[in-house]
């Protein structure tokens, strides 16, 4: 894979990019690098068609060798997540259509069947999600936002509302991360991203219902408007109601 040099730079800046493109555990360098890159793609930090940072940059951020980065990129390219381009504007780019598979399908020769989800698993993941995302919505509404932050939040909401079904969860994830980023606490983003990936692993095992998408989009607008108008209590209430909807579906299908 060639480094990106001179071409379009990915939208991997900001707290969300920093949270995901951070040092990995050296004991599982390859697996952790694949996982971190997959998070960056599946959570919409780098969009389809956009370039990843260069191999050199990724190796420095992850604290691993360029060979490890190159092997991780190859694994994700083989799974259909990434493509490489040569030439002056070459580099490694996110595929225009991101596959709807998880980490096991990238690291294993054959995709494993999803393990049964226990009540304890759901309680843990969804309980943490409530604490993180309701708190983030409340804190974001208390912040004095710049014009650029306000525009980015509104744009993320509109793009989610206009998304095709195959791309909905990626853009939905990006919107939720955008809310967290407004809080301005770097360590929060790592927790939000890790939790969101676990939530998405559950969501990938249930159908995407048209009526639920429409309702979610209405709730997104309520959350965003509350944040933009500085109503922290309303933002927290709207976020909790939103999370309760997806929790009800997950428990209904999986528990």
Confidence (pLDDT) at 167: 87
Q: Do 123 and 248 belong to one domain?
A: yes
Domain termination residue (choose one: 99, 132, 152): 99
How many domains would you assign to the chain? 2
- Domain presence at residue 20: yes
Asked if residue 150 belongs to a domain, the reply is yes
Please check whether residues 242 and 127 belong to one and the same domain.
yes
The verdict on residue 107 lying in a domain is no
27 and 141: one domain?
no
Series of mean pLDDT values for 10-residue runs along the chain (255 residues): 38 54 71 86 88 91 91 91 85 86 57 64 95 98 96 96 90 95 92 92 85 93 98 98 93 82
Domain, as residue range, for 35 = 15-99
Give residue 7's pLDDT: 39
pLDDT for residue 171: 93
* 93 and 131 both lie in a single domain: no
Q: What is the CATH number of the domain that holds 39?
A: 1.10.10.10
Q: Are residues 58 and 137 in the same domain?
A: no
Residues 63 and 127 in one domain: no
Let me know if residue 105 belongs to a domain. Answer: no
| pLDDT computed for residue 129 by the predictor | 97
The answer as to whether 1 is a domain residue is: no
Q: Tell me, what CATH number does 143's domain have?
A: 1.20.120.530
Question: 24-42: string of b/e by CB count within 10 Å (b at 16+)?
Answer: beeeebbbbbbbbbbbbbb
Q: Are residues 230 and 127 in the same domain?
A: yes
Q: 176 and 143 in one domain? A: yes
Q: Does residue 51 form part of some domain?
A: yes
Same domain, 68 and 179: no
Q: Do 136 and 88 share a structural domain?
A: no
Q: Tell me, yes or no, whether 193 and 227 share the same domain.
A: yes
Residues 220 and 168 in one domain: yes
Residue 222 maps to a domain: yes
- The reply to whether 132 falls in a domain is yes
Measured CA to CA, the distance from residue 214 to residue 254 in angstroms comes to 22
């Amino acid at each position: 894979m060639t480094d990106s040099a001179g071409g379009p730079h990915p939208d991997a800046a900001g707290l969300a990019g920093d949270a995901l493109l951070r040092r990995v555990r050296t004991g599982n360098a390859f697996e952790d690098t694949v996982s971190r890159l997959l998070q960056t793609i599946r959570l919409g930090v780098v969009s389809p068609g956009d370039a990843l940072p260069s191999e050199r940059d990724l190796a420095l951020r992850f604290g691993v060798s360029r060979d490890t980065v190159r092997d991780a990129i190859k694994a994700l390219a083989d799974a259909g997540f990434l493509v490489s381009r040569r030439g002056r504007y070459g580099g490694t780019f996110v595929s225009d259509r991101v596959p709807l598979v998880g980490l096991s399908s990238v690291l294993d020769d054959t995709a494993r069947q999803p393990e049964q989800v226990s009540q304890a698993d759901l309680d843990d993941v969804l309980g943490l999600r409530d604490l993180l995302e309701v708190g983030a919505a409340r804190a974001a509404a208390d912040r004095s936002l710049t014009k650029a932050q306000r525009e980015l939040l509104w744009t993320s909401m509109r793009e989610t509302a206009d998304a095709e079904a195959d791309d909905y969860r990626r853009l939905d994830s990006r919107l939720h991360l955008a809310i967290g980023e407004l809080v301005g606490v770097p360590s929060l983003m790592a927790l939000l991203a890790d939790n969101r990936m676990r939530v998405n692993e559950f969501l990938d095992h249930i159908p995407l219902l048209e009526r639920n998408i429409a309702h979610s989009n209405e709730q997104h607008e309520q959350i965003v408007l509350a944040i933009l108008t500085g109503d922290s209590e309303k933002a927290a209430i709207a976020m909790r109601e939103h999370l309760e909807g997806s929790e009800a579906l997950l428990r209904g299908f999986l528990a």
